[in-house]
């Protein structure tokens, strides 16, 4: 399969969930205005920040995202009236869970970016990328591999030892 | 699908967009990559995917290669999703077997490193290819469009839109919050660039509105609430009490005459406070409708409950009704034109210009009234102290193009300053100084207009006025010194004048946010309402069925305002004449056998689309009410709500794709 | 007798409750005993590992393994059972989702050992002795103890699992149904959780009393309130995992006046039970500003322990992923 990691090593990757009406539009506006910003994020368009299921966030982290950004309309401005409040409520509680499970606060972010704030897209993304770069990659897939390697390693050494023990026992038995 | 035996066959296309995309994203590499992805049967790149040959390519490939899914990497879905869905449909597939990758706005245009752009494109292509595999065929819901239209704001924009629609035979509700329509234009004397008299061109239109059989004019009224959605808005209009019965009043003004106040004592709003009015008054002689009103803030009856109420007796038609209450009306419309206009910048915010302190500092709007033949002084320019100015300084860009106030250019101030310079010269013969930052005269005939006026012997000084203060050497201390740096000669100059005119900029109305929220449309950081696309959908908003006209969308002159109002009316007509609109089928639904009836979702829906079926003990989503935000989907604790177009599986597959996550290897690692 | 299908039970990191639940079959255990040969059941019968090792591969019809996997021995046994059995059933919340033992996944192994053997206030251990996996006994032999692992795992994170019987413990009815299904060969697709794929509210007697417009102004914990015996527990401000938890237990906890703590795990449509119930509950918190919201959610002081009580190992993240270096 195609190798995409550049020579520069691990590239910080942020998964961004942008609501269709404000933040996604703002990201488009940044484009139309040619406002340059860091390329490390990948946007998934949802209709409203209220659609963002905390499971998506965990899923993204577990599959290798170094950060997750949620972008919605400013309070009071949600296209669906109050989807963003529901998003905020979940976020306030969920960030505690994420922190308790060892993911640094800077890796999960909720931002209100209105359709006109193309420049805020730049500010938020650049800021988030630079903060995460300081933290380094999260790379949970590698973490899971390293966790699971304890099984292989121990398993191997347990097997070898037990064979020895069995051999020893056999000897004891056969030689009285 | 029969042809492909349930096998998924994806066609992938990436657009060069001329060089817009191709110069940052290596389209060949992305194409080669896409070809290696599972289920991708065709992978191509092409100069302009949205062109006919580009679309034909998709259509033919679907037919010849038995494709059943299409992915296009091009511009933003806001721009061409419809185009490519249509091509997918033309090829014989359900149009929702399509997914778009935003490779221009959110990639090529915003990143500098082509390698990074290409990487990003590759991730998103992988995501889209994975996502589209789980797409389902969907039907769009058609909603009929109610043929009536609401126009909010009765300035020239609202007037023109209402007339156009009315003339086309549509019923229009024109709601204006002031007692009369006309907006700002009604205050002007003449209008640039042609210098035709504002009243002459506006008043006929105003009375046409009033008399139009298809236009229901609601002045002194406000829209309080808007429910529903495109095709079907329920609008609550509040008619504020005029304390005059509309149907009975003929505008004879006998009541005004009879008011216990013999003298007019209260600042006249229409004349910018340069004249006085009584508590019962007509806003201005050509006010439309021709109805007087009583202002409870100044009427002594309302303030003290004690008055002889001479106005009541004076009216033979018994039109005065001091007990009148606000009336609320509900109407149904299918579309809305927003034409709420602007407000002039408040000059008091720039203290060093002395507005409010020095009586001879005027705003441009006051000057419009001063030079107006039907204004407070019948067109004679008399200063507040009774004198006639011999030198006048006009400050351009007041409140505009300044980080401390409004950063934007208000577009009309240079030109109306030139207009006012001409008119003031005509009325007073005074010597006139224009202080400008840059002379901005875009538009047809505008530069010519400026040149013509400049030749009349105006002085133009290129420099921002830094200070205005009384001239101490003037025995009456009436003269004002205007201090500025003339940037052409790089010298500080001080010009003594009798009168200062502040050419205030245009800004969003103070209540723009409130109105915007009610309409559920967005506005820019400044507060002007945002159009759906700056070039291709300049009068549409992101909310279907709501259109913009005039200065509420941004500063502009009358010709542009009228053009935009016409465009908004045309969009509305297109909508109405089509008769229906197709909605995105991104609605949510509950699988009955899966729902435990936990009721967690019921009240989360802002549109009360979810109800609890008592007999079945299950939740149920009324598809007609669901707008597809997906909030309930994310909140259903047992995962029993699904959403078309944005289902969990579709989003998970995007996440997988973006992160290049290989399911199989992860799962195998457990075994 | 020899032609009766063979069934094995095994226990890993568990409390023994699952074993109890087998006994809880009551008379039905006779039905089981009549129809199968139990070839391994550490808690009830004296079979040894080598007895199982001696059996041909896949000769056991079904192995029901309870408990999470947190030692090398448990893993080894899991592999052995897998090798000898046609069907492996993860039995109970711990094997299914990690269960209570998996709450240890909030810590690094080293942290746990340090606390238990040095730092806890009741410990006197000046030599800083730690458990060893090997030692020399007086006969000169080297007995070996299982190694404790850093990560507590669900059974399916270690071996391939065919079915899951959820619950802490699974209800006898579910067990009986499963055994019958196995004996009659009437089995669902591999990977199925053998409990209704619908949330607990479906069978909760308090369901009726839940309002459709429930918002949370405050959260309370069971010891802080007199719990109304009839009203929906969420409506009383208690965190009840019922809406996000599979039915099948008969709503034992809510009938017993305690909120559901989620032991049956999520429905098949949910990947992370904790995230989902959190999403649902938080959406209804009565606040629109961070401040208002934070004040209310302060009533949930331990969200991981609350929402992932039985499901941490099986959750998306599985375990606390990073630890601050302790000096
Ligand atoms: C001093 C000055 C001089 C100018 N001279 C010229 C000129 O010479 N030539 C030229 O081309 N342009 C000129 N302009 C620009 C011109 O004023 C605008 O282009 C034009 O007025 C815009 O019309 P509009 O209908 O969009 O807004 P407006 O004129 O502001 O009308 C908006 C209307 O909507 C009403 N409204 C607002 N909110 C609500 C609500 N919530 N509900 C109901 N009604 C509401 C308002 O009361 C108002 O009647 C000048 C501007 C200024 C400030
Ligand atoms: S939240 Fe889900 S399970 Fe609960 S009532 Fe709504 S649809 Fe049913
Ligand atoms: S998707 Fe949004 S609009 Fe539709 S039913 Fe759910 S909450 Fe209501
Ligand atoms: S639509 Fe933007 S947050 Fe709801």
Full DSSP string of B440-475? ---STTHHHHHHHHHTTT-EEEES-EEEEEE-TTST
Using the atom order of ligand 3, give the atom closest to the CA of residue B622: 5
Spatial distance between the Cα atoms of B111 and B103, rounded to a whole number of angstroms:
11
Spatial distance between the Cα atoms of C232 and C206, rounded to a whole number of angstroms:
5
At C23 the pLDDT is 86
Domain count along chain A:
2
Residue A155 and residue A132 share a domain: no
Nearest protein Cα to ligand 3, atom 6: B632
Binding site membership of A84 for ligand 4 (Cβ less than 6 Å): yes
Binding site membership of B597 for ligand 2 (Cβ less than 6 Å): yes
Classify residue C159 as exposed, middle or buried by CB count within 10 Å of its CB (0-12, 13-18, 19+).
buried
Interchain CB distance below 8 Å, A151 and C150: no
Nearest Cα neighbor of B299 from B287, B291, B290, B307 is B307
Spatial distance between the Cα atoms of B235 and C182, rounded to a whole number of angstroms:
63
Chain C nearest-CA distance from B612, in A, is: 8
At B668 the pLDDT is 35
Q: Which residue has the tokens 């009704």?
A: B321
Q: What mean pLDDT is reported for chain A?
A: 86
Residue B395 and residue B476 share a domain: yes
Interchain CB distance below 8 Å, A53 and C297: no
The residue range of the domain holding A53 is: 14-138
Spatial distance between the Cα atoms of C256 and C170, rounded to a whole number of angstroms:
17
Spatial distance between the Cα atoms of B601 and B584, rounded to a whole number of angstroms:
22
Residue B336, SS3 per DSSP:
strand
b/e burial code for range B353-390 (CB count within 10 A of at least 16 → b): bbbeebebbbbbbbbbbbbbeebbbeeebebeeeeebe
Spatial distance between the Cα atoms of B495 and B500, rounded to a whole number of angstroms:
11
Q: Which tokens is B482 given?
A: 């205007």
List helix spans (H) across B138-223.
Answer: 156-167, 198-211
- pLDDT tens digits along C182-198: 989 899 999 999 999 99
State the distance from the centre of ligand 3 to the C-alpha of A61, rounded, in angstroms: 27
Spatial distance between the Cα atoms of A27 and B106, rounded to a whole number of angstroms:
6
Chains in contact with A, where contact means 3 or more Cβ–Cβ distances below 8 Å, are B, C
At B270 the pLDDT is 96
Residue C249, SS3 per DSSP:
coil
Residue A127 and residue A155 share a domain: no
At A6 the pLDDT is 38
Ligand found nearest the CA of A75: 4
Interchain CB distance below 8 Å, C279 and B637: yes
Quick one: pLDDT band at residue A157, thresholds 50, 70, 90?
low
Residue B197 and residue B333 share a domain: yes
Residue B363 and residue B492 share a domain: yes
Residue C144 at interface with chain A, using a CB cutoff of 8 Å: yes
The residue range of the domain holding B170 is: 141-240+326-341+509-580
Task: Note whether residue B443 is domain-resident.
Answer: yes
Q: Answer with the one of B580, B608, B627 that is the final residue of a domain.
A: B580
Q: What is the mean pLDDT of residues A154-175?
A: 50
Spatial distance between the Cα atoms of B176 and B341, rounded to a whole number of angstroms:
11
Name the more confident of A132 and C324: A132
| Residue of chain A whose alpha carbon sits nearest to that of C79 | A155
Residue A116 and residue A39 share a domain: yes
At A2 the pLDDT is 33
Q: Which tokens is A114 given?
A: 């209105």
Classify residue C179 as exposed, middle or buried by CB count within 10 Å of its CB (0-12, 13-18, 19+).
buried
At C24 the pLDDT is 85
Nearest Cα neighbor of C239 from A55, B600, A57 is B600
Nearest Cα neighbor of C169 from C277, C321, C278, C67 is C67
Residue B146 and residue B134 share a domain: no
Q: Which residue has the tokens 């550490």?
A: C42
Residue B595 and residue B552 share a domain: no
Residue C200 at interface with chain B, using a CB cutoff of 8 Å: yes
Binding site membership of B611 for ligand 2 (Cβ less than 6 Å): no
Residue A104 and residue A172 share a domain: no
Residue A153 and residue A106 share a domain: no
Spatial distance between the Cα atoms of B387 and A104, rounded to a whole number of angstroms:
72
Residue A44 and residue A85 share a domain: yes
For residue B639, the domain's CATH number is 3.30.70.20
Residue A151 and residue A105 share a domain: no
At A151 the pLDDT is 81
In terms of phi and psi (left: phi > 0; alpha: psi -120 to 50; beta: otherwise), the region of B309 is left
Task: Note whether residue B570 is domain-resident.
Answer: yes
Q: What is the CA B337 to chain-centroid distance, rounded?
A: 9
Q: Which residue among C158, C270, C316 places its CB closest to the CB of A62?
A: C316
CA dihedral C91, C92, C96, C98 (to 10 degrees): -130
Residue C53, SS3 per DSSP:
helix
Question: Between C290-297 and A83-100, two packed helices, what is the crossing angle to 10 degrees?
Answer: 50
- What distances in angstroms separate CA C92 from CA B160, B239, C29, C60, C166, one per listed residue? 73, 67, 18, 20, 5
Q: What mean pLDDT is reported for chain C?
A: 93
Q: Which residue has the tokens 């959610």?
A: C297
Q: Does the CA dihedral B26-B30-B31-B33 come out positive or negative? A: positive
State the distance from the centre of ligand 2 to the C-alpha of C286, rounded, in angstroms: 19
Binding site membership of B591 for ligand 2 (Cβ less than 6 Å): no
Binding site membership of A26 for ligand 4 (Cβ less than 6 Å): no
At C309 the pLDDT is 97
One DSSP character per residue, chain A reads: ------TT-PPP-EEEEEETTTHHHHHHHHHHTT----S-EEEEEES-GGG--HHHHHHHHHTT-SEEEEEEPPTT-BTTBSHHHHHHHHHHHHHHHHHHTT--GGGEEEEE--TT-HHHHHHHHHHHHHHHHHH----HHHHHHHHHHHHHHHHHHHHHHHHHHHHHHHHHHHT-
Pick the CATH number of C6-100+150-184 from 3.40.50.700, 3.40.50.1370, 3.30.465.10, 2.40.30.160: 3.40.50.700
Residue A101 at interface with chain C, using a CB cutoff of 8 Å: yes
Spatial distance between the Cα atoms of B140 and C104, rounded to a whole number of angstroms:
50
Q: Which tokens is B64 given?
A: 């010849």
Q: Does the CA dihedral A142-A148-A153-A154 come out positive or negative? A: positive
Question: ∠ at Cα A145 (A144, A147), nearest 5°?
Answer: 65
Residue B155 and residue B119 share a domain: no
Percentage of residues of chain C with pLDDT beyond 70: 98
- pLDDT tens digits along B467-484: 999 999 988 878 999 999
Domain count along chain B:
5
Q: Is the pLDDT of residue C26 over 90?
A: no
Residue A62 and residue A37 share a domain: yes
Interchain CB distance below 8 Å, C278 and A138: no
State the distance from the centre of ligand 4 to the C-alpha of A55, rounded, in angstroms: 19
Residue B541 and residue B621 share a domain: no
Residue A162 and residue A118 share a domain: no
State the distance from the centre of ligand 4 to the C-alpha of A32, rounded, in angstroms: 21
Q: Which tokens is B480 given?
A: 């004002």
Residue B464 and residue B390 share a domain: yes
Spatial distance between the Cα atoms of B152 and B542, rounded to a whole number of angstroms:
18
Using the atom order of ligand 1, give the atom closest to the CA of residue B344: 53
How many CB pairs below 8 Å do chains A and C form together?
Answer: 128
Q: What is the ipTM of this complex?
A: 0.94
- Among A151-165, C18-32, C138-152, C192-206, the minimum mean pLDDT is found in A151-165
The gap between the terminal CA atoms of chain C, to the nearest Å, is 62
Q: Is the pLDDT of residue A176 over 50?
A: no
b/e burial code for range B34-50 (CB count within 10 A of at least 16 → b): beebeebbbbbbbeebb
Residue A93 and residue A133 share a domain: yes
Residue A83 and residue A47 share a domain: yes
Residues with CB under 6 A from ligand 3: B 588, 604-605, 607, 609-610, 621, 626-633
Q: Is the pLDDT of residue A165 over 70?
A: no
In terms of phi and psi (left: phi > 0; alpha: psi -120 to 50; beta: otherwise), the region of C26 is left
Interchain CB distance below 8 Å, A59 and B666: no
Task: Note whether residue A91 is domain-resident.
Answer: yes
Q: Which tokens is B321 given?
A: 């009704």
Interchain CB distance below 8 Å, C202 and B596: yes
| Residue of chain B whose alpha carbon sits nearest to that of C155 | B670
Q: Is the pLDDT of residue C327 over 50?
A: no
Phi, psi of B118 (to 5 degrees): -65, -45
Residues from chain A contacting residue C317 (CB–CB below 8 Å) = 58, 61-62, 101, 140
Nearest Cα neighbor of B354 from B493, B485, B482, B505 is B482
Residues with CB under 6 A from ligand 1: B 152-158, 175-178, 183-185, 188, 191-192, 222-223, 339-342, 344, 364-365, 368, 412, 416, 419, 506, 509, 515, 550-551, 556-559, 561
- Among B240-244, B263-267, C131-135, C207-211, the minimum mean pLDDT is found in C131-135
One DSSP character per residue, B279-313 reads: SEE-SSTT-SS---EE-TTT-HHHHHS----HHHH
Q: What does the domain layout of chain C look like in residue ranges? A: 6-100+150-184, 109-148, 200-307
Task: Note whether residue B5 is domain-resident.
Answer: no
Interchain CB distance below 8 Å, A4 and B122: yes
Task: Note whether residue A1 is domain-resident.
Answer: no
Residue A80 and residue A28 share a domain: yes
Interchain CB distance below 8 Å, C297 and A140: no
Spatial distance between the Cα atoms of B300 and C76, rounded to a whole number of angstroms:
96
Residues from chain C contacting residue B637 (CB–CB below 8 Å) = 199, 243-244, 270, 276-277, 279-281
Residues from chain A contacting residue C158 (CB–CB below 8 Å) = 151
Residue B271, SS3 per DSSP:
coil
- What distances in angstroms separate CA B228 from CA B236, B237, C303, one per listed residue? 11, 15, 39
Paired with B620 in beta bridges are B611
Under-50 pLDDT residues of chain B: 1-2, 663-671
In terms of phi and psi (left: phi > 0; alpha: psi -120 to 50; beta: otherwise), the region of B524 is beta
Q: Which tokens is A128 given?
A: 């988030």
Q: Which tokens is B535 given?
A: 């070039």
Chains in contact with B, where contact means 3 or more Cβ–Cβ distances below 8 Å, are A, C
Binding site membership of A60 for ligand 4 (Cβ less than 6 Å): no
Q: Give the residue from A115, A120, A125, A142 with the most B CB atoms within 10 Å of its CB, the best one to mutate.
A: A115
Confirm if C36 and C5 have CB atoms less than 8 A apart: yes
Confirm if B637 and B111 have CB atoms less than 8 A apart: no
Spatial distance between the Cα atoms of B476 and A8, rounded to a whole number of angstroms:
76
């Amino acid at each position: 399969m195609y190798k995409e990691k550049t020579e520069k090593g691990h590239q910080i990757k942020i998964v961004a969930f942008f609501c269709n009406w404000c933040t996604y539009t703002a990201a488009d506006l940044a484009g139309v205005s040619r406002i340059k910003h860091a390329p490390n994020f990948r946007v998934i368009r949802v209709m409203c920040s209220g659609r963002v299921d905390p499971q998506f966030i965990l899923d993204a982290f577990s599959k290798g995202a170094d950060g997750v950004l949620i972008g919605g309309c400013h309070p009071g401005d949600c296209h669906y009236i109050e989807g963003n409040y529901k998003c905020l409520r979940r976020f306030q509680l969920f960030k505690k869970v994420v922190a308790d499970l060892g993911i640094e606060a800077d890796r999960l972010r909720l931002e209100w970016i209105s359709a006109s704030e193309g420049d805020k897209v730049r500010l938020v993304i650049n800021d988030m990328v630079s903060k995460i770069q300081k933290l380094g990659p999260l790379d949970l897939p590698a973490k899971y591999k390293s966790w699971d390697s304890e099984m292989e390693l121990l398993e191997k050494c347990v097997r070898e030892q037990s064979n020895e023990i069995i051999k020893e026992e056999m000897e004891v038995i056969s030689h009285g | 699908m029969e042809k492909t035996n349930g096998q998924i066959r994806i066609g992938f296309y990436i657009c060069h967009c001329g060089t817009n995309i191709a110069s940052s994203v290596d389209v060949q590499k992305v194409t080669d990559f896409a070809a290696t992805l599972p289920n991708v049967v065709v992978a191509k790149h092409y100069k302009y995917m949205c062109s006919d040959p580009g679309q034909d390519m998709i259509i033919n490939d679907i037919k010849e290669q038995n494709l059943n899914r299409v992915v296009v990497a091009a511009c933003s879905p806001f721009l061409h999703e419809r185009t490519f869905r249509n091509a997918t449909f033309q090829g014989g597939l359900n149009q929702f077997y399509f997914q778009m990758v935003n490779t221009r706005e959110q990639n090529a245009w915003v990143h500098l490193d082509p390698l990074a752009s290409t990487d990003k494109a590759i991730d998103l292509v992988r995501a889209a290819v994975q996502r589209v595999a789980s797409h389902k065929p969907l039907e769009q819901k058609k909603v009929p469009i109610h043929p009536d239209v609401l126009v909010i704001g009765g300035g020239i924009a609202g007037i023109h839109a209402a007339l156009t629609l009315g003339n086309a035979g549509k019923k229009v509700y024109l709601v204006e919050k002031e007692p009369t329509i006309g907006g700002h234009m009604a205050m002007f004397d003449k209008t640039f660039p042609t210098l035709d008299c504002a009243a002459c061109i506006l008043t006929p239109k105003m009375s046409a509105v009033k008399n139009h059989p298809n236009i229901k004019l609601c002045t002194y009224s406000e829209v309080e609430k808007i429910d529903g959605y495109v095709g079907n808005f329920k609008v609550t209009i509040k008619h504020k009490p005029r304390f005059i019965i509309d149907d009975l009043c003929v505008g004879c003004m006998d009541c005004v005459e009879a008011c216990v106040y013999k003298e007019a004592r209260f600042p006249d709003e229409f004349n910018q406070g340069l004249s006085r009015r009584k508590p019962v008054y007509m806003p201005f002689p050509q006010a439309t409708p021709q109805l007087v009103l009583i202002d409870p803030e100044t009427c002594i009856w309302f303030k003290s409950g004690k008055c002889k109420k001479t106005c009541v007796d004076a009216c033979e038609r018994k039109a005065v009704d001091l007990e009148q209450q606000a009336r609320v009306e509900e109407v149904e419309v299918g579309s809305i034109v927003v034409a709420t206009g602007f407000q002039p910048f408040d000059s008091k915010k720039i203290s060093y210009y002395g507005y409010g302190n020095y009586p001879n500092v005027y705003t441009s709007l006051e000057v419009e009234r001063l030079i107006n033949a039907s204004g407070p002084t019948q067109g004679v320019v008399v200063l507040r102290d009774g004198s006639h100015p011999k030198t006048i300084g006009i400050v351009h860009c007041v409140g505009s193009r300044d980080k401390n106030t409004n950063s934007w250019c208000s577009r009309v101030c240079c030109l109306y300053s030139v207009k006012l310079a001409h008119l003031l010269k005509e009325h007073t013969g005074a010597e006139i100084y224009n202080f400008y930052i840059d002379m901005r005269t875009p538009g047809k005939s505008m530069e010519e207009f400026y040149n013509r006026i400049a030749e009349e012997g105006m002085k133009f000084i290129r420099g921002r006025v830094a200070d205005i203060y009384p001239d101490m050497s003037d025995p009456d201390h009436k003269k004002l010194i205007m201090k500025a740096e003339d940037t052409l000669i790089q010298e500080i100059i001080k010009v003594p004048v009798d009168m200062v005119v502040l050419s205030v900029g245009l800004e969003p109305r103070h209540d723009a946010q409130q109105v915007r929220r009610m309409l559920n449309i967005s506005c820019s950081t400044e507060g002007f309402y945002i159009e759906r696309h700056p070039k291709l959908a300049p009068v549409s908003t992101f909310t279907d069925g709501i259109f913009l006209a005039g200065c509420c969308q941004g500063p502009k002159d009358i010709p542009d305002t009228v053009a935009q109002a016409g465009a908004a009316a045309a969009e509305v007509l297109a909508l109405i004449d089509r008769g229906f609109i197709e909605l995105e089928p991104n609605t949510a639904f509950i699988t009955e056998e899966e729902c435990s009836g936990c009721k967690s979702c019921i009240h989360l829906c802002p549109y009360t689309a979810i109800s609890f079926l008592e007999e079945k003990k299950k939740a149920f989503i009324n598809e007609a009410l669901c707008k597809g935000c997906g909030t309930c989907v994310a909140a259903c604790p047992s995962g029993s709500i699904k959403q078309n177009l944005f289902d969990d599986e579709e989003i998970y597959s995007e996440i997988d794709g973006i992160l290049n996550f290989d399911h199989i290897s992860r799962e195998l690692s457990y075994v | 007798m020899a032609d009766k299908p063979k069934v094995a039970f095994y226990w890993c990191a568990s409390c023994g409750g699952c074993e109890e639940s087998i006994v809880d079959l009551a008379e039905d255990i006779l039905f089981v005993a009549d129809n199968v040969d139990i070839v391994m059941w550490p808690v009830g019968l004296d079979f040894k590992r080598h007895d199982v090792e001696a059996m041909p591969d896949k000769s056991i019809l079904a192995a029901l393994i309870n408990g999470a996997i947190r030692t090398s021995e448990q893993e080894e046994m899991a592999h052995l059972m897998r090798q000898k059995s046609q069907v492996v059933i993860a039995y109970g919340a711990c094997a299914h989702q990690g269960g209570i033992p998996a709450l240890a996944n909030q810590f690094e192994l080293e942290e746990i050992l340090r606390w238990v053997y040095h730092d806890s206030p009741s410990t006197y251990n000046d030599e800083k002795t730690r458990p060893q996996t090997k030692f020399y006994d007086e006969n000169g032999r080297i007995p070996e103890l299982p190694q404790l692992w850093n990560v507590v795992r669900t059974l399916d994170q270690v071996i391939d699992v065919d079915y899951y019987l959820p619950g802490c413990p699974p209800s006898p009815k579910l067990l009986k149904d499963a055994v019958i299904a196995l004996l009659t060969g009437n089995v669902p697709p591999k990977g199925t959780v053998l409990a209704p794929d619908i949330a607990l509210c479906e069978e909760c007697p308090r369901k009726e009393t839940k309002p459709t417009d429930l918002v949370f102004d405050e959260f309370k914990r069971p010891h802080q309130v007199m719990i109304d015996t009839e009203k929906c527990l969420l409506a009383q401000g208690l965190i009840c995992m019922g809406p996000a938890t599979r039915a099948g237990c008969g709503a034992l906890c809510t009938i017993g006046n305690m909120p559901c703590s989620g032991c049956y795990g999520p429905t098949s449509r949910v990947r992370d039970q904790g995230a989902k119930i959190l999403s649902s509950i938080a959406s209804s918190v009565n606040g629109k500003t961070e401040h208002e919201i934070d004040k209310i959610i302060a009533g949930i002081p331990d969200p991981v322990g609350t929402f992932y009580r039985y499901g941490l190992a099986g959750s998306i993240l599985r375990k606390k992923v990073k630890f601050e270096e302790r000096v």
